[in-house]
Structure 1
């Protein structure tokens, strides 16, 4: 039976090792892929050792702009008996990623799903934060405006305190500094806040402190244009 392979990609440069050898061997024969961005996917697949010439691969796009009605057609290679690879732009497919809809449809049609091991910035940040790893939630993006962002931060802090639930969230990189400033100003002094930037890259930086400690730092990290995960734990 053909299978949908969920193929992780590096969090940084395409030539960074990403898959374990035995998992890489499972995907080098695949010729049909659903990708978030074709240019970067070609670079990733080249370094993964896919045997078909890169320009001869069948790449179909699935991103936030893909109409829901168009997703089912992406499974056609599976219906024709060929394995299909799902490739995220960075990290693990279907986690904070539009590929989740494709996986759900593949299950509905009875196809086998084969997730492969790879880096997830969400899990790496949680591992490194010192926050509760037994109960956690990923909230995605917070509101872009100051008032909405501030309200969301207080709501997340309240939930974390009441349920002992770690809260993870992200921001568009150019607004990272504003988010950090609001968190430091508005959260309770005892709340833990971890910022994990550039995970797996040479510039990786992970800082986890109580808000009271963040407030006494002589200098805050510069987060602008850097991929970052924020981890909040108030219990």
Structure 2
């Protein structure tokens, strides 16, 4: 029996020109699908509505995979693929499986010998690294830092030390409404000569990517409140 293919679909990082973010070939592949696994159906429908040639939204099947999905539920999400149907795994923003709950499903797909195909599209993490000017040969992505202040400060100190020891760029993110507090903690905890890049609203009209030393940031602090951002640290 021939299984279907699981296509990993990057989603735009915000409002913008879809042609700028997704190649024509990727959009054509999306238009050929009628089954998707998504984080939030409402935003997924809004995104899919912009794809030319896509089947009517009422004819498209959407299954949900998010941070609340239990491991025992993943097998059912693969059922259409095991029956021979192609399925698209759509991230809420950026790339599926990267700081995204889709990774567990992709791993199970490999275990079931289902073909997995990543499609080209925006990744805030790699775009930020590209634009930072920091070490792109050696880097580490840490996801979210601890929320509690003491634990967060301890982690920042660890990341800065690791960066200095290994000449490694440390990359991390935070929920938009806590970004300002994280930035202020970085400014307070890190050495003045440590480099920090703040990459905000990537691919959007008000994109902001700036790399400065901590000492320079202390003299000119941007407002990141409620703005999606990626932070890159290099000691």
- 1:93 equivalenced with 2:96 (yes/no): yes
Aligned to 2:10: 8
- 1:221 equivalenced with 2:232 (yes/no): no
Deviations 1:90-111 (A, max 9, x none): 1111111010111111111111
Gaps in structure 2 of 5+ consecutive residues: none
Gaps in structure 1 of 5+ consecutive residues: none
Q: TM-score, structure 1 length as denominator?
A: 0.95
Select which of 146, 151, 163 maps to 1:148. Answer: 151
- What secondary structure is seen at the aligned counterpart in 1 of 2:18? coil
Distance 1:15 1:38 in 2: 21
Select which of 73, 77, 84 maps to 1:74. Answer: 77
Distance 1:72 1:135 in 2: 36
- Deviation, 1:124, is 0.7
Aligned to 2:166: 163
- 1:209 equivalenced with 2:212 (yes/no): yes
Q: TM-score, structure 2 length as denominator?
A: 0.95
Q: CA RMSD in A?
A: 1.3
- Deviation, 1:173, is 1.2
For the 8 Å contact 1:93–1:100, the answer to whether it is kept is yes
Deviations 1:38-87 (A, max 9, x none): 00111111212353210221100000000111011101111111101000
Runs of 4+ in structure 1 over 4 Å off: none
Deviations 1:147-201 (A, max 9, x none): 1111110010011111111111111111111111111111011110011111111
Distance 1:16 1:30 in 2: 18
Distance 1:103 1:41 in 2: 19
